[in-house]
Amino acid sequence: MTPTPHASPAAVSRTRAWLVVLLVALSGYGNYYCYDAIGPVADLLQQQRGFSDAQIGLLNAIYSLPNVVLVLVGGLLVDRFGAAFMTLATGLVCLAGALFTAFSPDFTGMALGRLLFGIGAETMGIASLAAVADYFHGPGRNVALAMGVTLAIGRIGSYSADMSPTWFATAYAQGWQPPLVIAAVMAVTSCVAALVYWGIDRGPRRAGLLPTSRTGEPFVWRDLLHFGRAYWYLLVLCVLWYAVILAFRSTFSIKYFQHVHGLDLAEAGEMNSYVFLAAVFATPAFGWLCDRRGRYAPFLMFGALLLPVALAVLALTPWSLWIATALIGISYSLVPAVMWPLASRLVAPQRLGTAIGLMWVVQNAGIGGANVVAGWLNDRAGASATNPAGYDAMMAFFGAASVGGLLCAVLLWWTAGRRQHELRG
Ligand SMILES: N[C@@H](Cc1c[nH]cn1)C(=O)NCC(=O)O
């Protein structure tokens, strides 16, 4: 690892560092709220604007599509122009996207809005992690706790969007548009937080206390391949773990709980939401634990192990759904709490944006691919409430991918994550 000469976040006061976390997390709150704002208005969009299921699906799919390429560019820009500038710039792109989505007269305009929002939002996610790494890298700086808090406040944004029909019932009673205007207001909040962060970051950055960006250095494509072996294990784990957890939890789990385990829609949705709610509290707690013990890879390995175990419990045993839900909840909290701090330890600070960008390019492709493959397997086997065995192929596919992820976590631990590696760094 080659830290910037003179960069020493330890010289930045803890209060300022935690203020940065708070501001970055607030911008993440707005970002995740807007991301999840389509689900609650889906029914209203169908009733009032006549959108089909495919159109509703496209409003979310179009978020990921450009990021199969563009989030890498975003990561490079974060390294080049710095996390603070890029959080603000992407916040403004997200706001433009949210406004387009809320005020467009037709579907095409809304889809363009979601496209713009996706382009800004994923790069903002990278800028947020890079911002926290800037202020917390180095021994005893609690990087995992700080990243855990940032992710947790983002998860509250998603939870708030899910709860918005209850919290903003009057807006929902007026139709599809007011809830999307509220989402745009959340995007304004993101921009204000990003602006304040940009303002307070200028002092320590100019004083050389933070890693400097790489402005002026020419971009060399070959640089992309020059990460160590442990980074590549982390990348494959990231792709497989997020592909399984998001394709299962965000797309198919509710339907699976209904058809295979006999829950009604409300019960299935509630069961699924506990995973999410648990992550709000458990992600920072696990981050704190990792920082305190100074160990990351063993926790990552344990989190990666719980996913195939949970899937096996769901698919192969008659045990209570609570057991699998708790196991998925722990995995969903533990893996992100460790993965991003570990990434910040495995690569040089000035290349963190590029490193995460590359991970998220493949991750976006993996999430999209896993959704398509799982849907195809279910259709092919005729999975339904009357044919619950039709879900077996999907569960086997998710199980195999999650075992692949576990294998990468073991290799990562073996290569760079044992006691003598981690306590040294
Ligand atoms: N690239 C994002 C994808 C994501 C996951 N959940 C919502 N969006 C990512 O990996 N973010 C880190 C995270 O754990 O939220």
pLDDT over threshold 60, residue 354:
yes
> Which range among 52-61, 159-168, 200-209, 350-359 shows the weakest confidence by mean pLDDT?
52-61
Report the CATH number of the 14-211 domain: 1.20.1250.20
Q: Could you tell me which of 130, 124, 112 has the C-alpha nearest to residue 187?
A: 124
Cα-based distances in Å from 73 to 109, 122, 219 = 24, 11, 11
Angle at 190 between CA 186 and CA 191, to 5 degrees: 120
Take residue 191 and report the two structure tokens written for it: 């921009």
CA angle 349, 350, 353 (to 5 degrees): 90
Q: pTM value?
A: 0.88
In this structure, the dihedral spanned by the alpha carbons of residues 350, 355, 357 and 359, taken in order and rounded to 10 degrees, is -170
Q: Report the pLDDT value the prediction gives residue 9, as an integer from 0 to 100.
A: 65
What is residue 224's predicted lDDT score, i.e. its pLDDT? Answer: 72
Q: List alpha helices for 347-388, DSSP H.
A: 352-381
Range with lowest mean pLDDT among 213-222, 242-251, 363-372: 213-222
Sign of CA dihedral 41, 46, 50, 52: positive
Report the pLDDT value the prediction gives residue 332, as an integer from 0 to 100.
Answer: 94
Cβ–ligand 1 contact at 74 (below 6 Å): no
Into which CATH architecture does domain 227-422 fall?
A: Up-down Bundle (1.20)
The ligand 1 atom at the shortest distance from the C-alpha of residue 363 is: 1
pLDDT value at position 249? 81
Greatest CA span in the chain, whole angstroms? 66
User: How far, in Å, is the centroid of ligand 1 from the Cα of 149?
Assistant: 14
- Confidence at residue 149, expressed as pLDDT on a 0 to 100 scale: 96
Q: How confident is the model at residue 423 (pLDDT cuts 50, 70, 90)?
A: low
* CA 400 / ligand 1 centre spacing (Å): 22
The pLDDT value given to residue 213: 67
Confidence of residue 1 (pLDDT cuts 50, 70, 90): very low
Q: Is the pLDDT of residue 103 over 70?
A: yes
Ligand 1 close to Cβ of residue 357 (< 6 A): no
* Long-range CB contacts (within 8 A, 24+) of 314-321: 314/256, 314/395, 315/391, 315/392, 315/395, 315/396, 315/399, 321/257, 321/261, 321/263, 321/271
Atom of ligand 1 nearest to the CA of 339: 14
The segment(s) of the chain belonging to CATH 1.20.1250.20 are 14-211, 227-422
Residue 248 Cα to ligand 1 midpoint, Å, equals 14
Distance CA 40, CA 21 (A): 29
User: What is the ipTM score, two decimals?
Assistant: 0.96
Between 6-20, 222-236, 325-339, 393-407, the lowest mean confidence (pLDDT) is in 6-20
Segment 402-407 shows an average pLDDT of 98
Classified as helix, coil or strand, 186 is helix
Of 202, 320, 191, residue with least CA distance to 261: 320
Cβ atoms of 410 and 301 within 8 Å: the answer is yes
**pLDDT for the residue numbered 5:** 45
Average pLDDT, the chain: 90
Q: Using CA atoms, how far apart are residues 50 and 44, in angstroms rounded to an integer?
A: 9
Q: What is the CA radius of gyration of the chain?
A: 21
Higher pLDDT, 254 or 156: 156
Query: What SS3 class is residue 123?
Result: helix
Mean pLDDT for 159-182 is 91
Q: What is the pLDDT averaged over residues 141-158? A: 92
Ligand 1 atom, smallest distance to 154 CA: 15
Asked whether 63 lines ligand 1 (CB < 6 A), one says no
Residue 326 CA to ligand 1 center (angstroms) comes to 20
pLDDT of the residue at 152: 95
Residue 91 has pLDDT above 70, yes or no: yes
Taking the CA of residue 364 as reference, the ligand 1 atom at the shortest distance is 1
Per-residue pLDDT of 21-36, as tens digits, reads 999 999 999 999 998 8
Q: What is the mean pLDDT of residues 142-161?
A: 92
pLDDT on residue 216: 58
Beta bridge partners of 384: 387
pLDDT for 202-238, tens place per residue?
A: 988 888 888 776 665 666 676 777 888 999 999 999 9
Question: What are the residues facing 387 on neighbouring strands?
Answer: 384
* Residue 300: other Cβ atoms inside 10 A: 27
pLDDT attached to residue 371? 84
